Amino acid sequence: MAKIKPFRGVRPAENKIKDVASPPYDVLNSAEAREQVKDKPYSFLHVVKPEIDLPENINLYDESVYQKGRENLYKMIADGILIQDEKPCFYLYRLIMGNIDETGLVACASIEDYENDIIKKHEHTRADKEADRIKHVDTLNANTGQVFLTYKARQEMNELVDELTGEKPLYDFETEDGIKHIFWKIDQEEDIRKIMDIFTKIDFLYVADGHHRSASGTIVGQRRREANPNHTGEEEYNYFLSTIFPHDQLYIMDYNRVVKDLNGLSTEDFLKKVEEKFIIDIYSKDKSYHPEGMHKFGMYLDGSWYKLIAREGTFPHDDPVRSLDVSILQENLLSPILGIGDPRKDKRIDFIGGIRGLEELSRRVDAGEAVAFSLYPTSIEQLMAIADAGKVMPPKSTWFEPKLRSGVIVHLLD
């Protein structure tokens, strides 16, 4: 069963939520973050991207960056911008984007569950990113970002959430991207008990997004466990901050690719090679092609959109990883034809989240890059099947929307 616990959340005072809530640390670069915090002294970007308060040439991994983040966090607490709830609570976090409406339980998830694969993963982490998050969590003594977890939906939890969200929320605000964020505190003992009882029937949680945050939270907890001779297992460092959604509410968008050159091939030779593994149809010069199903791809090349269909026999249907569209494209086109063997490291390829639209693909190619590919979104069922099989997905397989805001809730580790 999945072990979760309530906690004394640190969160914005009710009249400060719009001043504090910010995009996650990993969706903006430093220059974008500096621009966004102009005239926003309480933006949580000062905590999660504290380099914005230091000289522009600062090394992002310099000790002073982490110390600045700590300073900013605890100053916001001292100044009453952030307050801490007096007793352990659960929280509910609803995001509404158009017709997408999803509500997650904000709770602490167990590092022991992470170690024992009760919390299942589907991606490898990168050592440099993991080290950065470990240093951040340890220095600030806090989980400042939520791990995005999911579970196989249960009707009884849906019904309880419907009941609890009938109460007045703590926060109800809309961000500049048009997404509504609504947040409730669950502090009644009976409601907390009901939630924990339901989760005793949930066998597994799955990391949807936040592999580096969950790994770093676990490693910090392990180090503190080893250093504490009086360790009991109930200390706050044994848990990391999570928002946990039922799987059938989540929305995964396409995660597309742009490549800078054709690997020395002419357009004609490139198309001949592509045709060996894909059926190619010219689609349109004016209208972008968004694949309408699995194993179909859009390709923008020389001012035209093409429709590609993977030929039968070019991938194994019974392999949950190699039958993913991102794998089919990588194994049959990006690697053998364009020479992109490791998309994690190759600087000739870039990844474009579906939230930016297919127009971004054609714009990039029209501006000088060589070719772009649109993909059908990976499903949450595919993600869970891969995690259940103990396998990992290729990089940049999923783009979840809408994004949880940082600063809405923080978990202190003591």
Give the Å distances, CA to CA, from 341 to 10, 15, 331, 333.
44, 51, 9, 10
The mean of the pLDDT values for the chain is 96
Q: Can you give the C-alpha Rg of the chain in angstroms? A: 23
How is domain 255-376 classified at the CATH fold level? 3.30.1760
For the cut 90, the answer to whether the pLDDT of residue 1 exceeds it is: no
Question: Please, are residues 23 and 406 in contact by the beta-carbon 8 Å criterion?
Answer: yes
Residue 26 pLDDT:
85
Residue type, position 101, single letter:
D
Question: Please, are residues 325 and 294 in contact by the beta-carbon 8 Å criterion?
Answer: yes
- Taking the C-alpha atoms of residue 310 and residue 297, their distance in angstroms, rounded to an integer, is 8
- Taking the C-alpha atoms of residue 384 and residue 322, their distance in angstroms, rounded to an integer, is 15
Assigned token pair, 17: 């939520």
The whole-number average pLDDT for the span 70-81 is 98
177 phi, psi to nearest 5 deg: -90, 5
pLDDT band at 345 (very low <50, low <70, confident <90, very high): confident
Q: At what angle do helices 63-78 and 127-140 cross, to 10 degrees?
A: 40
The whole-number average pLDDT for the span 156-182 is 96
pLDDT (tens digit per residue) in 373-411: 999 999 999 999 999 999 999 888 999 999 999 999 999
Q: What is the dihedral of CA 273, 294, 346, 305, to 10 degrees?
A: 60
Residue 195 pLDDT:
98
The whole-number average pLDDT for the span 141-170 is 97
Q: Are β-strands 119-120 and 205-209 bridged in parallel, bridged antiparallel, or unpaired?
A: parallel
For the cut 90, the answer to whether the pLDDT of residue 74 exceeds it is: yes
Residue 127 pLDDT:
87
Residue 125 pLDDT:
85
CATH 3.30.1760 domain locations along the chain: 255-376
User: Bigger pLDDT: 25 or 192?
Assistant: 192
Residue 284 pLDDT:
87
pLDDT band at 250 (very low <50, low <70, confident <90, very high): very high
Residue 273 pLDDT:
98
The whole-number average pLDDT for the span 158-162 is 97
- Taking the C-alpha atoms of residue 261 and residue 224, their distance in angstroms, rounded to an integer, is 48
Considering the chain, what percentage of its residues have pLDDT values greater than 90? 93
For the cut 90, the answer to whether the pLDDT of residue 344 exceeds it is: no
Residue 138 pLDDT:
98
